[in-house]
Structure 1
Amino acid sequence: MARPKIPRTICGQAANICFKPNGIPMTQLEQVPLAEDEIEAMRLVDLLGMQQQEAAKSMGISRQTLANLVKAARYKVVDSLINGKALMTKVSTEK
């Protein structure tokens, strides 16, 4: 049985649900899902320039969890950009 996910504080959200290469139909693209908490981690660390400890506290998670989220998110973004994949944001329905 998987360990339950700790609730995370998410203040920002992506401007769009999908980012994809121009001129290629979605049906021909591999889709890479980017979770809300991954977007928030990148927003805090990369866009706002917060230290990881401060960003982790803001999200209500450990610094190591935040570092794992940032690493996973950056990999997905670079994979999408370099390999021409569609980057899909997963919108949570939980509140």
Structure 2
Amino acid sequence: MYRDELETLRLCDGEGLTQEEAGRKMGVSRGTIQRIITGARAKTARALTEGHAIIFIDDDET
């Protein structure tokens, strides 16, 4: 999971911000937040239901 995916989950699901509010904090559009969080939630759900580890990737290392 990339840093932006984790941050989006934290803001929207952890802090309860709307996608629009999270987008403003991250400097991206609401549509971008929606795309990021959809993928992040899918990765999280897959890891939890299939017993996989969630690996965090530092964007600077890719």
Shift of 1:92: 2.9
Runs of 4+ in 1 over 6 A off after TM superposition: none
Deviations 1:16-75 (A, max 9, x none): xxxxxxxxxxxxxxxxxx000000001000000001111101000010000111100000
How large is the RMSD of aligned CA atoms in angstroms? 1.1
TM-score normalized by the length of structure 2: 0.92
Give the number of the structure whose residues are more often strand, by fraction.
1
The aligned residue for residue 49 of structure 1 is 16
SS in 1 for 2:54: strand
Which amino acid is 2:26 matched to?
Answer: M
- Give the gaps of 5 or more residues in structure 2: none
SS in 2 for 1:38: helix
Which amino acid is 1:82 matched to?
Answer: T
- Give the gaps of 5 or more residues in structure 1: 1-33
Q: How far apart, CA to CA, are the structure 2 residues paired with 1:44 and 1:38?
A: 10
Q: Aligned residues: percent identity?
A: 36
Paired positions, count? 61
Q: Highest CA radius of gyration, 1 or 2?
A: 1
Q: Does 1:87 align with 2:47?
A: no
TM-score normalized by the length of structure 1: 0.61
The aligned residue for residue 71 of structure 1 is 38
The aligned residue for residue 8 of structure 1 is none
Give the number of the structure whose residues are more often helix, by fraction.
2
